[in-house]
């Protein structure tokens, strides 16, 4: 049964047709279970629209369609054709980019200013991936024994992709683009609080001429749609972004079912180091982008700041003043505001709980420490200092606009404190010294080191974690390769 399109108007005045159905085999259809997800506006707490919530049967149907499309169209055609469709998709997104950014802010609560950047990164990444479609290259290997040896890269097959709510569009394109470029087909599950742009994106796939069954998008519960994908015998790879606990469960189930490939982008508690020779003026915006961008709901947030003792007394008052002046909080659609709303009530409650824990643990507050207003989910940018390294606010991921500041003496002390974490996603270094930058970048245990910048992503540069922040990489050639397997051919004459 065909599902409805609902006319929605974004708070900044774009009226558009929001698809509300499951996107399977190029159609928006109703769920067989009759359940829906109520989507709300985090800035007001009011309901926006109901979308269909998929079941196990819906998911199985989508996997069958993706399997058929993999075998009959997408993986077998000329790769230039895949690239052509992907470039068309990127062009359609470019034409609609202000609307897409507005949907993102309305659904997620993030500042529109930031959402516009997310959309641009997403478009750039689709184009970058499309350019790889005809570069599924192997290598020839000279074994010196008279054999001819070479490798070829092949797509893995049907992929299941599961994403969180903090970057609904960017996480979707980071997953879909390399999978498509390499010739895979897929079923993607958006996070329940943020399905709107995923379904809108599906309508652009239709318009761009992506063949039926290649891209399927099913909102629904993690324990329903998510688990069906994870355990499905026809799915050959799961790409997951979300919390470490959920990621571990997925790795186990994926192995037990059919040993499918797994890539995991998980949580973090990333350290941001400021050395004595840092330029304070350049450092302040980097620290702020590190922790208050997207209201701190970034897996790589620089949520532990470590400041060397020689600059500590100067940096803290400067940071307090800068944050109180610049990190303004309010409606996502007020483009003068730096920070919008927290995405959902559960996350808002978690953040407020951690702020209370920090106060109980005896940490001092430099600024913030409370929520704002009664409607929607707004939290003041919050900085704790005089913390101990064993405090829960220093150890555990908060996933909100809350940061701790600790003091260190030598480079070795600072790095040891930074590395004392079960996570290893991002990390930051603020210094004017090339040798400190190089030395510390080598010593930090993290998937990314940002020097004199932070949370600064580029479509060609891989992103991902070590330790309990996961494995596998998003973006760059690494993401593309992670959607392929290598076949070796050895010929005897």
Here the tokens at position 46 are 């009011």
Here the tokens at position 290 are 């590190």
Residue 401 interacting with ligand NAD (CB under 6 A)? no
Q: Report helix, strand or coil for 450.
A: strand
Q: How far apart are alpha carbons 193 and 203 in whole angstroms?
A: 19
Residue 377 interacting with ligand NAD (CB under 6 A)? no
Nearer to ligand NAD, 83 or 479 (CB): 479
Here the tokens at position 386 are 């005089």
Nearer to ligand NAD, 164 or 414 (CB): 164
Please identify which residue in 113, 249, 280, 452 interacts with ligand NAD, judged by CB under 6 A. 249
Query: Between residue 380 and residue 399, which ones bind ligand NAD under the rule CB under 6 A?
Result: 397, 399
Residue 149 interacting with ligand NAD (CB under 6 A)? no
Half-sphere exposure of 63 (CA within 13 A, CB side): 25
Q: Does the active-site annotation cover 361?
A: no
Q: Counting Cβ atoms within 10 Å, is residue 487 exposed (0-12), middle (13-18) or buried (19+)? A: exposed
- 183: phi then psi, degrees, rounded to nearest 5: 100, 10
Residue 191 interacting with ligand NAD (CB under 6 A)? yes
Please identify which residue in 166, 270, 436, 484 interacts with ligand NAD, judged by CB under 6 A. 166
**Percentage helix, strand, coil, to 5, in the chain?**
40, 25, 35
* Smallest distance from ligand NAD to CB 443, Å: 22
Per-position x/- string for 205-224, each x denoting binding to ligand NAD as judged by CB under 6 A, each - no binding: -----------------xx-
Interface stretch with ligand NAD, choices 37-45, 60-68, 187-195, 409-417 (CB under 6 A): 187-195
Residue 267 interacting with ligand NAD (CB under 6 A)? yes
Q: Report helix, strand or coil for 182.
A: coil
Residues in contact with ligand NAD, total (CB under 6 A)?
29
* Smallest distance from ligand NAD to CB 242, Å: 3
Given 265, 281, 389, 396, the catalytic residue:
265
Please identify which residue in 50, 134, 154, 227 interacts with ligand NAD, judged by CB under 6 A. 227
Please identify which residue in 157, 226, 330, 426 interacts with ligand NAD, judged by CB under 6 A. 226
In 259-308, alpha helices (H): 280-291
Residue 243 interacting with ligand NAD (CB under 6 A)? yes
* Smallest distance from ligand NAD to CB 49, Å: 18
* Residues forming a β-bridge with 29: 2, 22
Give the relative orientation of helices 97-108 and 112-130 as an angle to the nearest 10 degrees.
Answer: 120
Question: Would residue 13 be called left, alpha or beta, if left means φ above 0 and alpha means ψ between -120 and 50 degrees?
Answer: left
- Rg of the chain, C-alpha, whole Å: 23
Residue 81 interacting with ligand NAD (CB under 6 A)? no
Query: Between residue 298 and residue 357, which ones bind ligand NAD under the rule CB under 6 A?
Result: 299
217 DSSP 8-state letter: E
- Which residues have CB under 8 Å from 445's CB, separation 6+? 419, 424, 466, 467
Please identify which residue in 110, 127, 189, 407 interacts with ligand NAD, judged by CB under 6 A. 189
Interacting residue ranges for ligand NAD, rule: CB under 6 A: 162-166, 189, 191-192, 222-223, 226-227, 230, 241-243, 246, 249-250, 265-268, 299, 397, 399, 425, 465, 470
Which amino acids are annotated catalytic? 265
């Amino acid at each position: 049964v065909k599902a409805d399109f609902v006319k929605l108007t974004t708070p900044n005045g774009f009226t558009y047709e929001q698809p509300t159905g499951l996107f399977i085999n190029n159609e928006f259809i109703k769920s067989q279970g009759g359940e829906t997800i109520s989507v709300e506006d985090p800035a007001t707490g009011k309901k926006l629209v109901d979308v269909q919530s998929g079941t196990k049967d819906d998911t199985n149907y989508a996997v069958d369609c993706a399997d058929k499309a993999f075998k009959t169209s997408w993986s077998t055609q000329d790769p230039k054709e895949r690239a052509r469709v992907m470039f068309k998709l990127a062009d359609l997104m470019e034409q609609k980019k202000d609307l897409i950014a507005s949907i993102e802010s309305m659904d997620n609560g993030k500042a529109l200013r930031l959402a516009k950047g997310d959309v641009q990164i997403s478009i750039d990444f689709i184009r970058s991936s499309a350019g790889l479609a005809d570069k599924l290259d192997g290598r020839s290997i000279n074994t010196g024994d008279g054999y001819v040896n070479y490798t070829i890269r092949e797509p893995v097959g049907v992929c299941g992709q599961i994403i969180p709510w903090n970057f609904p569009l960017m996480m979707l394109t980071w997953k879909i683009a390399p999978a498509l470029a390499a010739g895979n087909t897929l079923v993607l599950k958006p996070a329940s609080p943020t399905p709107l742009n995923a379904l809108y994106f599906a309508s652009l796939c239709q318009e761009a001429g992506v063949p039926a069954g290649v891209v399927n998008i099913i909102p629904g519960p993690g324990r329903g749609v998510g688990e069906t994908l994870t355990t499905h015998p026809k799915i050959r790879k799961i790409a997951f972004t979300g919390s470490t606990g959920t990621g571990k469960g997925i790795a186990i189930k994926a192995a037990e079912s059919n040993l499918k490939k797994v890539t995991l982008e998980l949580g973090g508690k990333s350290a941001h180091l400021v050395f004595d020779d840092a330029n304070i003026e350049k450092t302040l915006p980097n620290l702020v982008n590190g922790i208050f961008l997207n209201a701190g709901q970034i897996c790589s947030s620089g949520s532990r700041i470590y400041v060397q003792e020689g600059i500590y007394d100067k940096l803290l008052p400067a940071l307090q003043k800068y944050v109180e002046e610049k990190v303004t909080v309010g409606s996502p659609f007020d483009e003068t505001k730096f920070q919008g709303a927290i995405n959902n009530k559960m996350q808002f409650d978690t953040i407020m709980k951690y702020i209370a824990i920090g106060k109980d643990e005896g940490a001092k507050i430099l600024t913030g420490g409370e929520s704002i207003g009664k409607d929607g989910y707004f939290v003041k940018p919050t900085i704790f200092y005089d913390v101990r390294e064993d405090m829960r606010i220093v150890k555990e991921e908060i996933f909100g606009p809350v940061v701790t500041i600790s003091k260190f003496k030598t480079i070795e002390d600072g790095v040891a404190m930074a590395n004392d974490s079960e996570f290893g996603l991002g990390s930051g270094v603020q210094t004017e010294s090339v040798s400190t930058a190089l030395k510390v970048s080598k010593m930090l245990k993290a998937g990314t080191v940002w020097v004199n910048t932070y949370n600064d992503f580029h479509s060609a540069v891989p992103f991902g974690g070590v330790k309990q922040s996961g494995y596998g990489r998003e973006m760059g050639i690494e993401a593309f390769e992670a959607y392929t397997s290598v076949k070796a051919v050895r010929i005897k004459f």
